[in-house]
Structure 1
Amino acid sequence: MSNFQQGNYNNKIDYVFKIVLIGDSAVGKSQLLARFARDEFSLDSKATIGVEFQTKTVVIHHKNVKAQIWDTAGQERYRAVTSAYYRGAVGAMLVYDITKRQSFDNVARWLEELRGHADKNIIIMLVGNKSDLETLRAVPTEDAKEFAEKEGLCFMETSALESTNVELAFLTVLTEIYRIVSKKALTANDESESGGSSSLLKATNIVVPGQEPESGRRSYNCCTSS
């Protein structure tokens, strides 16, 4: 974890990455966000109404990266926000509750919605939350691993209550995004000299101060080697 540090707020922000949280209501999306952004957890957390977002700045490979993390209610009646909610997102945390089989069964529907609204190259982490409730487990880890491998997703089990793997899950997604973007920038620089054309990801939803977003993209699945 030596590449990850808290952001230095005296320095400029090099990148802003928008991450969205999706999944059924009460799987712990807001608690994951609170744990990552503020290192907080509330046992009496109320359901999210509408949409909210928080930010956290971290250092990845000596670059200040601001994560802008969006959280929305999982209830059906709030799903009209989808288009604006997904717009500009380069990462997604698709969350289910390991003690609620239905929340895992609904993951496929959430993934279909995500892929229907978001950029096709978005980096997606499947998150099995509430790993502290092992005795109540209803979703075997292997089931989730198999689904993630089939769909080309990253996968991790977390506990917002015990702060297990929460930071690692977010930072894994942020680092995968950064790796693609930094590689893209390097290749673009090389090919601008040779006159070639790059086939690497051109993420229109990455904000780089002083630069305009580029167009053209390629498909990429993270964590395929794990």
Structure 2
Amino acid sequence: MREEDVETAIKVVVVGNGAVGKSSMIQRYCKGIFTKDYKKTIGVDFLERQIEVNNEDIRLMLWDTAGQEEFDAITKAYYRGAQACVLVFSTTDRQSFEAIESWKGKVEDECGDIPTVLVQNKIDLLEDAKVETEEADTLAKKLKLRFYRTSVKDNLNVDDVFRYLADKYLERVQAMVEEEPQTNQPKIGMFNTVTSNANSSTKKKEDNGTIQLSGPNKRRTHGKKNPLSMLGKCQLL
């Protein structure tokens, strides 16, 4: 199998309260479209986009999770195996801001420590802001997260959010590979090129209580690329 026939896939979950713009953000990033119409996500939606990082093809699998409490039991199951996370709150929704730490905890309970960013969406509506700039900055520092202010409507900083997560995760993987001692026990972030089944990106809890994650899914492309993917578009699966 040739190296160019292998593709890396990274699962990213986008979480936060309802109506903060999670679905719109993913639609904008994957399809380049924006709609003002709000449609509540029922459970989980999924889109993907292929990008290139350091001359390597990376497929970002973006999981759009419902923000309403009644869907918690469903969405938590889809957090498992995630390798990166976007925490989103809205400039015009105070409750969504106050819920961020809770959302972060839910993801960490299922995934452990994974690359995560904090996003304040709808900054084009600052005149209706319910969250002070200093408050958002303070929260980002408290949680020790990279912080982006975005406007999905104006397509401001949306690409930067996902590019950062891809870079951050691959940096972590490389660091872990370089530090890995000569043992048969894999550490968090190591590539698993032996198998590509559904368990290859799920978390494993060891006897000592530490959480380990396999690396990004690698799958064969047989030398064929989806022409839409190469254009940076996405497919709704």
Which TM bucket (shorter chain)?
Answer: 0.7 to 0.9
Q: Tell me how far 1:12 sits from its aligned partner.
A: 3.5
Q: Tell me how far 1:211 sits from its aligned partner.
A: 6.0
The corresponding residue for 2:10 is 17
Q: Residues 83 and 46 (structure 1 numbering): CA distance in 2 closer, same or farther, change over 3 Å?
A: closer
Q: Residues 151 and 40 (structure 1 numbering): CA distance in 2 closer, same or farther, change over 3 Å?
A: same
Q: 1:108 aligns with which of 101, 114, 117?
A: 101
Distance 1:178 1:12 in 2: 19
Please provide the CA RMSD for this pair.
Answer: 2.5
Contact 1:82 1:117 (8 Å CA) reproduced: no
TM-score by length of 1: 0.79
The corresponding residue for 1:140 is 132
Q: Tell me how far 1:13 sits from its aligned partner.
A: 4.5
Deviations 1:104-155 (CA, angstroms, capped at 9, x unpaired): 011122122222222x221111100001112111112221121111112121
Deviations 1:187-223 (CA, angstroms, capped at 9, x unpaired): 33xx44xx7x99xx623xx7654468697779xxxxx
**Residue 171 of structure 2 corresponds to residue 179 of structure 1:** yes
Q: 2:63 aligns with which of 70, 75, 84?
A: 70
Q: Residues 14 and 114 (structure 1 numbering): CA distance in 2 closer, same or farther, change over 3 Å?
A: same
TM-score by length of 2: 0.76
Q: Residues 56 and 143 (structure 1 numbering): CA distance in 2 closer, same or farther, change over 3 Å?
A: same
Q: Residues 56 and 12 (structure 1 numbering): CA distance in 2 closer, same or farther, change over 3 Å?
A: farther
The corresponding residue for 2:41 is 48
Partner AA of 1:116 in structure 2: D
The corresponding residue for 1:202 is 188
Alignment size in residue pairs: 199
Hey, which bits of structure 1, 4+ residues long, moved more than 3 A?
Answer: 11-14, 206-218
More strand by share: 2
Overall identity of the aligned pairs, in %: 31
Q: 1:27 aligns with which of 11, 20, 24?
A: 20
Q: Residues 99 and 151 (structure 1 numbering): CA distance in 2 closer, same or farther, change over 3 Å?
A: same
Q: Tell me how far 1:182 sits from its aligned partner.
A: 2.0
Distance 2:103 2:76 in 1: 14
The corresponding residue for 2:122 is 130
Q: 1:153 aligns with which of 145, 170, 184?
A: 145
> Residue 149 of structure 1 aligns to a residue in which SS?
helix
Q: Residues 84 and 77 (structure 1 numbering): CA distance in 2 closer, same or farther, change over 3 Å?
A: same
Structure ranking higher on relative contact order (CA contacts 8 Å, 6+ apart):
2
Contact 2:14 2:62 (8 Å CA) reproduced: yes
Q: Residues 85 and 217 (structure 1 numbering): CA distance in 2 closer, same or farther, change over 3 Å?
A: closer
> Residue 123 of structure 2 aligns to a residue in which SS?
coil
Q: Tell me how far 1:22 sits from its aligned partner.
A: 0.6
Partner AA of 1:142 in structure 2: E
The corresponding residue for 1:6 is none
Contact 1:13 1:65 (8 Å CA) reproduced: no
Distance 2:35 2:104 in 1: 28
Stretches of structure 2 that go unaligned for 5 or more consecutive residues are 205-209, 213-237
